[in-house]
Structure 1
Amino acid sequence: MTDALKRLIQAAQQPEEADLIIQNGTVVDVFSLETFKSDVAIKDGCIVGIGTYPNGKQVVDASGKYVMPGFIDGHIHIESTMVTPSEFSRALIKHGVTTVVTDPHEIANVAGTIGIDFMLKDAANADMDILMKLPSCVPATPFEQNGATLTADDLRPYLKNSAVIGLAEVMDYPSVLNANPDMLEKVRMTIDAGMMVDGHAAGLPDAALNVYSTAGIRNDHEAVTAEEAIARVRRGIHVLVREGSAAKDLLALLPAINERNSRRFSFCTDDKHLDELAEEGTVNYAAQLAIQKGLDPLIAIQMATLNNAVCHGIDDKGAIAPGYLADILITDSLETLRPETIIKDGRLLDLGALRSIRATVPEAVRSSLHLKKVTKDDLQIPLQEGQKAWVIGVVPGRIITEKIAADVQTEDGFFVSDPENDQVKMVVCERHHQTGSIGAGIVSGLGLKRGAIASTVAHDSHNLVVAGTNDEDMLLAIEEAERMQGGLVIVEGGKVLASVPLRVGGIMSEKPYEEVIEELHALHEQLATLAEEGQNIFMILSFLCLPVIPRLKLTDIGLFDVESFQHIEVGIPM
């Protein structure tokens, strides 16, 4: 380490010894929100100088262009892209996202530490830096069945891994409020290690924010209104402005951001489907959208770079300055932010040379679907004629739902899907331990007109979730998902119309991202014949199982009221 630092100090004094010089560019200064003309000198993957440097071992001419830091995504679940970390990197880095902070709680809920180990090992093959926050809530709640339980003792050894930088979103607020010993130990050991703890304050009142901040949890990505964002900032909580596939909060939060408080905001993605990610990127897209809606481009860039680095305690990324790692983008526009040149770790990145690396997947992760036989009787929802029912109401563009008391269609004492009124049956089948546990409910707002869809991507426990207009198609969708050992399925009229196999824990594919995108496009083409356009139904379906997001959700144990934090019956007493 001493020799390495000595070389950098020498290069700072003798920039002609630099490995790479970026000349004649306009540097984006994210510290002071200004731009200035300067060359940039790079040695051993690190920036060693800004100034005038006529010579270098390798020179890049940036005349008429802007030199800015690589983008940092402050919070993303790689598993939600349905590809492995190395493939995720290959799909995203072309957009200039050179670092992501990820929470592997999806695979951890399926396979525990085996899943975490797989993610770390494959992430080491990535071209971008994939930094990990340890999953704090596996399981997310005690109100569903998942594949593993991770205690503080299970997580502690990972704090020594150089790719691990903190504790991921603490979703189990009651455990914090009630000072659960294991949860407090997870928080304490992380802070004692000099690392940050992420929050998850979805739908919580201001008093709960006081508890989170008091516990040392100082960021959150669940603000959905400007008022909620301001309440967090006032309590010292950094706001991660989320813009993904299902949860799109950026436009609602923009009014809260100004020049005085912008350092307390940054961009994140949370969850984004692969086809959208490959086409748009993640936080680069959020920055572009914010700029289009009137945010100062320099603030938007700051939120997508330096602010995320500071939020997560990353002290050598996010800026063009001596001593910072040379993750650099060269672009001709501060509005579109499309990188013409990407420099990663001080080396010019050749996107055409990036090759797919087939991940080595443990057998326990490849064969993770253990489902007890499901029959038509298992799908039934008893209701008397004229009895109202609690219905999960989808909210477009949000992962929160409505709790609706509605008149529904019945036949012979059971609910019958009514696609004309946008009320269809939904079931969640436990798939980790063959318990046979099945929860059934009613959902409105999916827009499904015919057939059935099934998925083993169901946050956070990733049980098998199915929605359909008839029981026969729902049963076939379940059988096909089991045959594939996980994935997405569309069925109509007793036929499988399309599918996307996801053999890695039932949530990720083993294939190159380009092939997965082709499968997704074929899936969406078939889905368009069965459902209303304009919504990503599979993404919506995956969040209808998450019992830490208001207001009404469905788990394998049954219908769950998030506000009262208890399971309730579908039928409302007459």
Structure 2
Amino acid sequence: MDVIGGKIVDLQQKQIYNGELHLENGIIIKIVKSEINYDHYILPGFIDAHIHIESSMLVPYEFARIAMRHGTVATVSDPHEIANVCGMEGIEYMLTNAKNSGLQFFFGAPSCVPATQFETSGAIIDHRDIEKLMVRNDIWYLSEMMNYPGVLYNDEEVLKKIEIARNYKKPVDGHAPGLKGDDAVEYIKKGCRTDHECVSLDEALWKLKHGMKILIREGSAAKNYHALESLISTHPNEVMFCSDDKHPDDLLLGHINDLVKISVLKHDLFDVLQIACVNPVLHYNLPVGLLQEGDSADFIMVKDLKNFEVKANYVKGINYINDSGTIHKTKTHSLINQFNIGFIEENEIPEIAPDPSTIIIKAIDGSLITEKTKADDCSSEEILKICVVNRYRKEKIHVGFITGFGPLKGAMASSVAHDSHNIVAIGRNTKDLTKAINSIIETKGGLCVVHGLETECLPLPVAGLMHILPAEQVGKAYEKLQKLAIYNGSTLTSPFMTLSFMALLVIPKIKMSDKGLFDAEKFTFM
């Protein structure tokens, strides 16, 4: 039996006291008060209530090594990205790679593969596949139902997926940016009970009133913490923290602990920890310990309740932290991918120029949402070509125009292109665009910047989304590419992050598909 002492932060009783945890076979069998005045605190670990692990560009095992340093003990993870590339085999890859990592990954069944019918993905997951996933005890919920038009208009396939999840008594995650009124009531009534897409407090309060749980999201891409922060005090039992997308350079700096640190400056400690540690366990019915007798021995040890610097991270009674970082055994990672096209020629990219009335995508720094503008309202030196090249089979290449990246020289390309992860590329001229696209094809996935005669790449050999290298190396390479894009003239804070969402058709207003320019509000091509 192991005995671990500290100032115990009891979230159930809302009290802090010196005590000892008695552990046996990964279970807290007894908690007793102590006369020792400890200088550290023991509390339940942090949970990311919605994340796509693939966004970190790290395989799950490597993601776990870094996240656990920051006090994370579990994630509610949607393998939607790799599923769009590799289908059921991709989901199995994530489940297998995550094993023995220490971190508790609670994966969902992706509900929207493909995300829409207006793009080409590498796989289809239908209701029969959802049934196969839901029967498993390592699949915990139906992942975000992005196809809210399908829910509202009673699409048979969509409703079957929701019904299957409910039959297995597993939660259904929502995804309904801006949806309110009768449509939102219907969406909630059909079973979609969470939303991480709220951008305003009014929207979040309306959805809370009608029975939804709201996720406060602060990731590398989308951020709504400052808009929704007041919910921490007003609705502490009905909200959760999540990151959604966490890029490798950001993950190295922090995770859910960052939200906890800024929240305790203005809000009650117990409310903050209820959100960070407890609510995901209750909503998703997760077998994660909450520092009570009989619970799994999942907890963290921190130096104080201000900075939450992690001294230990216990999962099932095993500590995964020491003075040099996270304790992880070396693991050999397999590869999985789907890249079925050869190099393209310059003449395959249409040589067109915008006229004054040409519709232009306007990218917004730090946002997934774009605006619609026209060429005569834009600086000519900031109008770039954009194309999305089908990675799964040879198809005609469509070209659009985009502004908002600044007066970018050269070109950028990425196979991280939500949601189908084709190759999205932007550039000043066809020659550089072709070079950037072919660089991604050569490495069978990754990110690249073309600058002059040089091309810099970060290969992502796992589905064109992730690397098997240590996070420190991936994060450094990613940061280098970001800086290079900025050096080339991009005025965006995170150029590759923004680029990756320019093909995300389920987020307004206009985006680029491998099939052409798309109106994400009217759900039709332009």
Identify whether the pair has TM-score above 0.5, normalized to the shorter chain.
yes
Distance 1:30 1:428, change over 3 A: same
Equivalence for 1:451: 410
Between stretches 31-40 and 199-208, larger displacement belongs to 31-40
Query: 1:12-161 maps to which residues of 2 (within 5 A)?
Result: 19-23=1-5, 25-52=6-33, 63-161=38-136
Equivalence for 1:176: 151
Identity score, percent: 33
Please tell me the residue identity of whatever aligns with 2:30: G
SS at match of 1:212: helix
Distance 1:48 1:534, change over 3 A: farther
The structure with the largest alpha-carbon Rg is: 1
SS at match of 2:233: coil
Equivalence for 1:553: 511
Distance 1:313 1:187 in 2: 18
Please tell me the residue identity of whatever aligns with 1:288: K
Q: Does 1:388 align with 2:347?
A: no
Contact 2:122 2:338 in 1 (8 A): no
Runs of 4+ in structure 1 deviating by more than 6 angstroms, as ranges, are none
Aligned-pair CA distance for 1:53: 6.8
Aligned-pair CA distance for 1:283: 1.3
Distance 1:358 1:469 in 2: 41
Contact 1:371 1:431 in 2 (8 A): no
SS at match of 1:138: coil
Gaps of 5+ in 1: 1-18, 55-60, 410-416, 569-574
Please tell me the residue identity of whatever aligns with 2:270: L
Distance 1:63 1:96 in 2: 19
Distance 1:390 1:205, change over 3 A: farther
SS at match of 2:206: helix
The alignment covers a number of residue pairs equal to 523
Distance 1:241 1:379, change over 3 A: farther
Query: 1:274-423 maps to which residues of 2 (within 5 A)?
Result: 274-280=248-254, 282-292=255-265, 294-314=266-286, 316-317=287-288, 319-351=290-322, 352=324, 353-361=327-335, 365-371=336-342, 373-376=344-347, 378-381=349-352, 383-384=354-355, 387-407=356-376, 418-419=380-381, 422-423=382-383
Contact 1:473 1:494 in 2 (8 A): no
Distance 1:418 1:471, change over 3 A: farther
Distance 1:377 1:482, change over 3 A: closer
Aligned-pair CA distance for 1:382: 5.4
Equivalence for 1:269: 243
Please tell me the residue identity of whatever aligns with 1:503: P
Distance 1:217 1:323 in 2: 32
Query: 1:407-556 maps to which residues of 2 (within 5 A)?
Result: 407=376, 418-419=380-381, 422-434=382-394, 436-496=395-455, 498-532=456-490, 535-556=493-514
Between stretches 218-227 and 440-449, larger displacement belongs to 440-449
Equivalence for 1:10: none
Distance 2:84 2:396 in 1: 17
Equivalence for 1:11: none
Distance 1:367 1:183, change over 3 A: closer
Tell me the TM-score normalized by structure 2. Answer: 0.94
Aligned-pair CA distance for 1:374: 4.5
Gaps of 5+ in 2: none
Distance 1:335 1:53 in 2: 23
Distance 1:31 1:381 in 2: 64
Please tell me the residue identity of whatever aligns with 1:283: I
Equivalence for 1:190: 165
Tell me the TM-score normalized by structure 1. Answer: 0.87
Contact 2:405 2:492 in 1 (8 A): no
SS at match of 1:305: helix
Aligned-pair CA distance for 1:308: 1.5
Please tell me the residue identity of whatever aligns with 2:282: V
Distance 2:206 2:316 in 1: 38
Aligned-pair CA distance for 1:510: 2.5
Per-residue displacement from partner, 1:72-113 (whole Å, max 9, x unpaired)? 110110111111111111121111101111111101101111
Contact 2:85 2:338 in 1 (8 A): no
Q: How large is the RMSD of aligned CA atoms in angstroms?
A: 2.1
